[in-house]
Amino acid sequence: MTDERAAILRTLLAGMPQTLAVVDRVIEVWPEHARYLIASFKPRSQNILAATEEAATAARALMAGGDAQFAADYRWTCERLREEEIYFHRNERYRLSTFAEANSEVYSNIQYMGRYVNGLLLSQLLWYNHAATLEMFLNRVLGTFSQPFDYLEVGPGHGLMVFFAARSALSRALEAWDVSAVSLRETRAALTRLAVPKPVTLSLADISSAPTSAKTFDLVVISEVLEHLEAPGEALCFLRGALSDHGRMFINVPLNSPSPDHIYLLSNPDEVISLVEGANLRVESIELFATQATEIPRAVANKVSISAGIIAVAA
């Protein structure tokens, strides 16, 4: 990395020591990535930068001193994603289309999954679209509750969103569901490292085939999960049944986002809205964040990855 790029990054990240510490480790193993990071941080609003620093603080707690390995795994993950992008733009479809394929290539490969999940953790703060979606969740989802609420998240991963929900003074019962017992063990370990301030009930559940939920929740969150499912509409229908009468659902799903384990392709915002409305939900608001803050019409036309954040209520 040139001195000029280093100076630009330090200016952009002034007052953000946790984020800068992560960036420094990434640049050590991948100097050429500095150009991308500058383009990622430049368009961020103050609110997005604040959310970025919160994500970095949590990520560093999860890395527990293993920053260099996580940085190396982040580079490795980006290289795998680049391979998928090349396939996607040549063939206009994701390489895999079934859960069985994704399980065979990714989920059942412990070494692969370890590096992949580590890399995706850093993407939460290093990629513009991921950080912007987190800011939406913190400020326009969690930040809008004025009464106590019960919380459910499906596919909690590293537990970042559960952690932020647990920090809210208004959150009561918190639950997280996953189809994988291994994933739930990882989530529990992550929540322990994050010192989550409230108990979180972790449950093994397959929302693609489960019966109607016996419980209802005031906030239901499904973030970066639908693209991994063969029938995401069925999952949303199930979660609609888990939503209280006056509850809200936060859905985060990517468009045109090839990854080693993505199997369900959404190409434009209209397809997302139709998917949500098909589950007897009404879209209250939708926010779209493209890679490097690319203008949305241009991103859709050129099939640039977009994170779609949707707040939905019962129809």
pLDDT digit string, tens, across residues 70-106: 999 999 999 999 999 999 999 999 999 999 999 999 9
Cα-flanking dihedrals φ and ψ of residue 295, to 5°? -60, 135
The answer to whether 256 and 189 have CB atoms below 8 angstroms apart is no
Give φ, ψ of 25 to 5 degrees.
Answer: -65, -40
pLDDT cut 70: percent of the chain above it? 98
pLDDT for res 211: 64
CA torsion through residues 123, 289, 16, 193, sign = negative
pLDDT at 207: 81
Instruction: Tell me if 94 sits within 8 A of 258, measured CB to CB.
Output: yes
Nearest to 59 by CA among 119, 139, 129: 119
Q: Tens digits of per-residue pLDDT, 1-30?
A: 578 998 999 999 999 999 999 999 999 999
Domain boundaries defined on the chain: 128-314
Beta partners for 251? 222, 310
- CA 168 from chain centre, in angstroms, equals 19
In whole angstroms, give the CA distance from residue 91 to residue 311.
32
184: pLDDT strictly greater than 80: yes
Question: What confidence category does residue 208 fall into, taking pLDDT thresholds of 50, 70 and 90?
Answer: confident
Q: What is the Cα Rg of the chain in Å? A: 19
The verdict on domain 128-314 having CATH code 3.40.50.150 is: yes
Q: What is the pTM of this model?
A: 0.96
pLDDT at 189 over 80: yes
Could you give the CA distance from residue 130 to residue 115 in angstroms, rounded to a whole number?
19
pLDDT at 244: 96
DSSP H or E stretch at residue 211:
none
Residue 257 has a pLDDT of: 98
What is the three-class DSSP state of 140? helix
